């Protein structure tokens, strides 16, 4: 089974801190995604990547950046954390973008609280 591992399940940070959320997948998937989940708002796409060193903005990229230096690793960076970035962050990967039913495999999530 494909495994998507998010390094931290729970984090508590202070306003203004720089925050790194790490995600690693072990099945040589091309595509990687970062979502945040908030009650009543569902899953909102922050950034995604189809290849190493490649990134594209999703629907809510403001306040975030990403890094994909290796195929298996996709990092989400909050340059200066704010309280409105308190959320559940979900990393996902999928095999490639040419297959039809592009099933995403999600990690277990990282619950971030910004005080």
Partner 1 sequence: DQQVKQNSPSLSVQEGRISILNCDYTNSMFDYFLWYKKYPAEGPTFLISISSIKDKNEDGRFTVFLNKSAKHLSLHIVPSQPGDSAVYFCAALKSRGSTLGRLYFGRGTQLTVWP
3-class DSSP assignment, residue 99: coil
4 lines the binding site for partner 1 (CB under 8 A): yes
Q: How many CB atoms lie within 10 A of CB 67?
A: 16
- Closest approach, Cβ 98 to partner 1, in A, equals 7
Applying CB under 8 A, does 62 fall inside the site for partner 1?
no
The tokens for 15 are 């306003």
For position 52 contacting partner 1 by CB under 8 A, the verdict is no
Which residues sit opposite 95 in a β-bridge? none
The neighbouring-strand residues paired with 73 are 24, 70
Q: Where do contacts with partner 1 occur on this chain (CB under 8 A)?
A: 4, 31, 33, 35, 40-45, 48, 50, 58, 90, 92, 94, 96-98, 100-109, 111
């Amino acid at each position: 089974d494909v495994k998507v591992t998010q390094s931290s399940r729970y984090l508590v940070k202070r306003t203004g801190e720089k925050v790194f959320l790490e995600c690693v997948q072990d099945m040589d998937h091309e595509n990687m995604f970062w979502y945040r989940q908030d009650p009543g708002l569902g899953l909102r796409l922050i950034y995604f990547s189809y290849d190493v060193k490649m990134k594209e903005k999703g629907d809510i990229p403001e306040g975030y950046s990403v890094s994909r230096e290796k195929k298996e690793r996709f990092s989400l960076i909050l340059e200066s954390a704010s309280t409105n970035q308190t959320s559940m962050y979900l990393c996902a990967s999928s095999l490639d973008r040419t297959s039809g039913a592009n099933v995403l495999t999600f990690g277990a999530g990282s619950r971030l609280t910004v005080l």
